[in-house]
Amino acid sequence: MSEDGNLINQLSTENRSEFENTSFSNNISVSRKLKVKGAYASLRFSNNNSRSENSSFFNSTREVFGNNANTEIQNQNIESNNESDRYTIGASYRNQLAENLFYNFDYEYSTENQASERNVFDFDENNGEFSDLNENLSNSFEVRSQKHIPKAGLRYSNDTLFMSFSAGLNRTELKTDNLIQDIGLESNFNVFAYNGYFAYNFKNKSRISAWFNNSTQIPGVNQLQPVRIQTDPLNIVEGNPNLDAAIVRRFNLNYNKYDYKTRSGFGLYSSYTYNQDQVVPVVTTDDDLVRTTTYTSLSGGQQAYLSFYLNKSLKKTKNENDREDFSFGTDLNMSYRRNLGFSNEQLFTSNIYSISPSLSVTYEIEDLLEITPEFGLSYNLTNYSLLQNLDEEFVNYDLGLNTTTYWPKNLTWGNDISFISLGNVSEDFDSTSLMWNMSLGYTFAKEKAILKVTVYDLLDQNINIRRTTGDDFIQDTNQLILTQYFMLGFTYKFSKFGGKDPNKGRNF
C-alpha cells in the first residue's frame, strides 16, 4: 500500500503440487592400524544419489492499480525433474613424528552431476490444455562439479593437552549449461582451507577448548545462472555469473566445569563468524512494488554468540539411599547478527540483537515423581540502516511445567504444559497459546515392552505464527499445521539374537 493508504498491487495464487522423491546414500571406510600407537592409514568412499519429480498447476492473478493499471494472469502447468549423483573418495595417513606428536596427510576428491529440467506450459484456451511451452520461464540445467582437497597437518596430545592444525587447498571446478536458453557457464574456485583445535584439562575437572576453521560455500546454480525466474510475478529472480566463492571464518572458545555424579556445574560458550564474499541479494523495487532480485558478493556479514549455563543440585545429604533431590538450572544466551544487502542500488545493513535468559527448578523423588517448572523470555532488537521505520523491539515469554509420575508400578504418566506469549506479531494474529501434551505408558513383559499413548495439543490451541525479519522487510505468517492428534506406540527390547546377548562388549 502507498503512504496515503491506497492499494498499489494485489496478488492471489493457487498452487497444487504432487511430489515423488527417491534417494540412496552409502558410506564405506577401511582403516588399518600401524605399528605405532595412534598411527593409521584409511580409505573411504561415499555416494549420494537422488531423484525428484514434481508436477504442479500454478494459477496467479497480479493486479496493479494507479495510473498504469494492468492485470497479469499466469495459468500454467509446471513439470520439474531433478537428478543428482555425488561420489566422494578419500585417503588419510597419520604417523608419529616424535613422542605424542603426529603428522597427517589427507586427500579427498568428489564429483557431482546434477540435471534439472523445468518445463512451464501455458494454458491454451483454444484446445483447453496446457500445451504452450513458455521458454522464458522454462529451463534445463546440467551441472558438473569436481572438488580436490589435499591437506596436511600436525597433532599433539597427552593426558592434559590436545592440539591440532591442518591446512590445504580447496579447489572446485564448476560447469553449468542451460540447454533451453543455450547459456553456459564455467567457474573455478580456489580457497586456502585450514582448521585448528586446542583443549586443556585442569585438575579440578574443568576444561577449556578453542577451535577455528574456514569453509567454502559455492554459489548455487540459481544464483549463478543469468536466467530470469518469474514464477512469482511480484518477485522476479535472476542470477549473476560473476559471483565469487564465499568464505566463512569461525572461531569458538569454551570453558566448562561439570560433575556428572552430582549433576552440578557451569559452562561458558562463545563463537564468532565472519563472512567474506558472501552472496547477498540486490533488490530493485519499482513503482508498482514488483521486486527484482539478483546477487552480488560482499564481505562484512557477522555473527556472534555467547552462552552461559549453571546447574546446581541442592540435595541435603550425600546418602545414596536418599531418593529426594532438589536442583535448579539457569542459562543466558546472547546473540548478534549483521546482515548486508542492496535495496534500489543502496547498500544497507540490519543489526539483530537477542538476549534470552531462562530458569528452571526440579524436584525429584527417584522412581516416584519429577516436577519441573520453568520460565524464559527473549528480548529482541533489530535496527535497519535505510528503513528506520522497520526498526522493532519486542519480548517473547515462555512459561512451562513438566511433570512425570512413576506410580503405580509400571505406569508412567507425563505432562508437558507451556504457555507462550509472542510480542512481535501484528494484532491480526493470535499472540498467545497454551500447549498441553500428555502421555501414559505401561511397562510389562519383565520391563521389555512399553505400550504408550500420547495426546498432542490436548487443548487444541496450537498456533504456528512466525515473524520473518528479512534484510529490508518484516513479514508475519500463519501456517496451517497439524494440531491435536493422538499416537499409540509400542516398544519391545530384544536382548538376545541367536543365543547371544548383542549388548555385551558392544556399544550402539
**Any bridge partners for residue 50, and if so which?**
23, 84
Nearest alpha carbon to residue 394 among 306, 305, 474? 474
Specify the long-range contacts of residues 361-367, CB closer than 8 Å, at least 24 apart: 361/326, 361/327, 361/328, 362/325, 362/326, 362/327, 362/328, 362/329, 363/324, 363/325, 363/326, 364/324, 364/325, 364/326, 364/327, 365/323, 365/324, 366/323, 366/324, 366/325, 367/323, 367/406
d(CA 475, CA 468): 5
Tell me, what's the pLDDT at 413? 95
SS3 154: strand
SS3 390: helix
pLDDT-based confidence at 136, cuts 50/70/90? Answer: confident
Residues 250, 305 contacting (CB under 8 angstroms): no
Q: What is the pLDDT of residues 290-313, one digit of tens each?
A: 788 899 999 999 999 999 999 998
CA 315 from centroid of its chain's CA atoms: 39
Instruction: Name the helix (H) or strand (E) containing 266.
Output: strand 264-276
Residues 24, 69 contacting (CB under 8 angstroms): no
pLDDT-based confidence at 116, cuts 50/70/90? Answer: confident
Pairing of strands 346-365, 324-343: antiparallel
Residue 159: partners with Cβ closer than 8 Å, 6 or more residues away: 201
The structural domains of the chain, with segments of one domain joined by +, span 11-239, 314-508
Residues 194, 166 contacting (CB under 8 angstroms): yes
Most confident of 435-449, 458-472, 494-508: 435-449
Identify each DSSP E strand in 277-389 by its residue range.
278-285, 291-298, 301-313, 324-343, 346-365, 369-384
- pTM listed for this prediction: 0.75
Tell me, what's the pLDDT at 481? 62
User: 159 to each of 37, 199, 278, how far by Cα in Å?
Assistant: 15, 11, 41
d(CA 217, CA 429): 37
Q: Is the pLDDT of residue 221 over 90?
A: no
d(CA 267, CA 209): 11
Most confident of 90-99, 240-249, 257-266, 424-433: 90-99
pLDDT above 70 covers a percentage of the chain that reads: 88
Q: Tell me, what DSSP letter sits at residue 389? A: G
3-state secondary structure 190-236: EEEEEEEEEEEECCCCEEEEEEEEEEEECCCHHHHCCCEEEEECCEE
Q: Give the cell for residue 429.
A: 494474529
Phi, psi angle pair for 182, to nearest 5°: 55, 50
Q: Let me know how long the chain is.
A: 508
User: 360 to each of 305, 321, 329, 413, 434, how far by Cα in Å?
Assistant: 22, 25, 5, 20, 19
Section 19-24 average pLDDT = 91
Residues 415, 398 contacting (CB under 8 angstroms): no
Q: Give the cell for residue 106.
A: 589427507
Q: Is the pLDDT of residue 52 over 70?
A: yes
Q: In the chain, what is the straight-line distance between the N-terminal and C-terminal CA atoms, in Å?
A: 59
Residues 271, 251 contacting (CB under 8 angstroms): yes
Nearest alpha carbon to residue 460 among 486, 436, 480? 436
Q: What is the pLDDT of residues 239-277, one digit of tens each?
A: 887 888 889 999 999 999 988 777 789 999 999 999 999
pLDDT: which is higher, 118 or 103:
103
Tell me, what's the pLDDT at 66? 72
Say if residue 281 is preceded by a cis peptide, omega within 30 of 0.
no
DSSP string, 417-453: EEEEE-SSS-TTS--EEEEEEEEEEEEETTTTEEEEE
Tell me, what's the pLDDT at 505? 40
Residue 252: partners with Cβ closer than 8 Å, 6 or more residues away: 209, 210, 211, 212, 269, 270, 271, 272
Tell me, what's the pLDDT at 4? 64
- In angstroms and rounded to an integer, the radius of gyration of the C-alpha atoms of the chain is 29
d(CA 234, CA 10): 9
